[in-house]
C-alpha cells in the first residue's frame, strides 16, 4: 500500500475544485468555537454551518480530517469544543477518557460509493463485479481508499473489498488518503483508476463533474454510525450548533448528501 502526499500525485485542478482536507473557516469573529469534523461530512456541514449563521448570527470554525487523528489531537490538548466523528467508536473512546461532556448523540449514518474518473475504463457496479474483472484482466494499477488505520471510511472500504474477495489483489495497488476526502481527491484526479469514497462526497457537484459513481449496498459493511459530542470547554455557541445539528433543517441537508438518519437520536448508556 502506498500513502501519497497531496502535492506528490493529486492534480492541482482536483485540489482547487474540492479543497477537502484543508481546515475550513466559516467564522467572522475570533470568538467562534473550533469544531473538529470528519472529512466525509464536509460539503453537508459547510451548508449546515452557513444556514446556522444565517439563522442565528453565530459562527463556527470547522477543521476537517480523519476521526482517529482528531482523537489524538484532542488528547494532546487541541482546543476543539465539539467533534463530529465518522464512526461512533472515536467519540466513545474520548468519552471513556473524560474528554467529552457526555456520550453524545448519533447525527447520521454514513454510506459508501465506488467511483472512478470519467476517463477510467473501470466498469462501476454495486457488487464490484467490474472491479474484480478489471483486476483479473491485469488492468488495475492504482486504487484509492482512506487509510484504514485511522479513517473509518477506509476501514469500511477494506471490509467491502474483503467481503468481495478482492482485498489481497487490490492491496498492492492501493493509494491511501490521509482521510476520506483525500481519497476522494485521488479518485477524481486521474492519479488512480478508481476508489471507494463516501457517498456524501461523491454527490458533491465538484465531484460529479469529474467522476462517476455507484452506491455500494449498505449490507456489505458495518454501519458507519456517526456520533458527535461536546467537549467540557464548549461555549454557548458550540452548544447551540450541537443542538442545531439535530434540527430538521440540518437533517434535511444531511439527507440531500446521501446520509441515512437514525430513527431516533439516541444517547449511549
pLDDT in tens, 9-23: 333 334 344 444 344
129-177 pLDDT, tens digit each: 999 999 999 999 999 999 999 899 999 999 999 999 999 999 999 999 9
Distances (CA, A) of 107 to 7, 164, 207, 224: 33, 29, 24, 11
Q: Which three cell numbers stand for residue 40?
A: 466525509
Q: Which of 9-13, 28-32, 83-87 has the lowest mean pLDDT?
A: 9-13
**CA-based nearest residue to 93, from 70, 77, 109, 111:** 70
Phi, psi dihedrals of residue 186, rounded to the nearest 5°? -60, -40
- Position 156 scores a pLDDT of 96
187 three-class SS: helix
Give the 3-state secondary structure of residue 231: coil
Confidence of residue 190 (pLDDT cuts 50, 70, 90): confident
Instruction: For residue 16, count other CB atoms closer than 10 A to its CB.
Output: 9
Q: Answer yes or no: is pLDDT of 264 > 80.
A: no
H helix or E strand, kind and range, residue 165: none
Portion of the chain with pLDDT greater than 90, in percent: 82
> What are residue 260's phi and psi, to 5 degrees?
-85, 155
Q: Which three cell numbers stand for residue 138?
A: 491485469
Average pLDDT of 206-213?
94
Quick check: 39 pLDDT over 80? Answer: yes
Q: Which three cell numbers stand for residue 29?
A: 469573529
Record the pTM: 0.82
Residue, of 93 and 6, whose pLDDT is higher: 93
Run of H or E residues at 179: none
Amino acid at each position: 500500500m502506498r500513502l501519497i502526499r497531496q502535492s506528490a500525485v493529486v492534480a492541482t485542478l482536483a485540489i482547487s475544485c474540492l479543497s477537502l482536507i484543508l481546515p475550513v473557516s466559516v467564522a467572522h469573529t475570533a470568538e467562534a468555537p473550533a469544531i473538529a469534523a470528519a472529512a466525509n461530512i464536509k460539503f453537508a456541514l459547510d451548508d449546515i454551518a452557513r444556514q446556522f449563521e444565517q439563522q442565528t448570527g453565530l459562527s463556527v470554525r470547522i477543521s476537517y480530517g480523519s476521526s482517529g487523528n482528531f482523537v489524538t489531537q484532542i488528547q494532546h490538548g487541541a482546543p476543539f469544543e465539539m467533534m463530529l466523528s465518522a464512526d461512533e467508536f472515536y467519540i466513545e473512546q474520548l468519552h471513556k477518557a473524560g474528554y467529552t461532556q457526555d456520550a453524545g448523540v448519533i447525527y447520521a449514518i454514513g454510506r459508501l460509493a465506488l467511483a472512478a474518473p470519467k476517463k477510467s475504463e473501470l466498469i462501476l457496479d454495486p457488487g464490484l463485479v467490474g472491479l474484480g474483472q478489471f483486476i483479473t484482466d491485469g488492468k488495475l494499477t492504482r486504487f484509492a481508499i482512506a487509510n484504514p488505520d485511522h479513517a473509518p471510511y477506509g476501514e469500511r472500504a477494506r471490509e467491502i473489498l474483503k467481503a468481495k474477495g478482492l482485498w489481497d489483489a487490490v492491496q498492492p495497488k492501493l493509494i491511501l488518503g490521509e482521510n476520506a476526502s483525500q481519497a476522494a481527491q485521488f479518485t477524481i484526479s486521474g492519479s488512480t483508476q478508481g476508489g471507494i469514497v463516501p457517498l456524501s462526497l461523491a454527490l458533491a457537484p465538484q465531484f460529479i463533474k469529474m467522476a462517476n459513481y455507484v452506491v455500494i449496498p449498505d449490507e456489505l459493511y458495518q454501519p458507519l454510525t456517526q456520533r458527535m459530542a461536546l467537549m467540557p470547554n464548549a461555549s454557548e455557541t458550540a452548544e447551540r450548533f450541537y443542538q442545531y445539528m439535530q434540527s430538521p433543517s440540518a437533517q434535511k441537508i444531511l439527507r440531500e448528501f446521501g446520509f441515512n438518519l437514525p430513527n431516533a437520536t439516541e444517547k449511549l448508556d
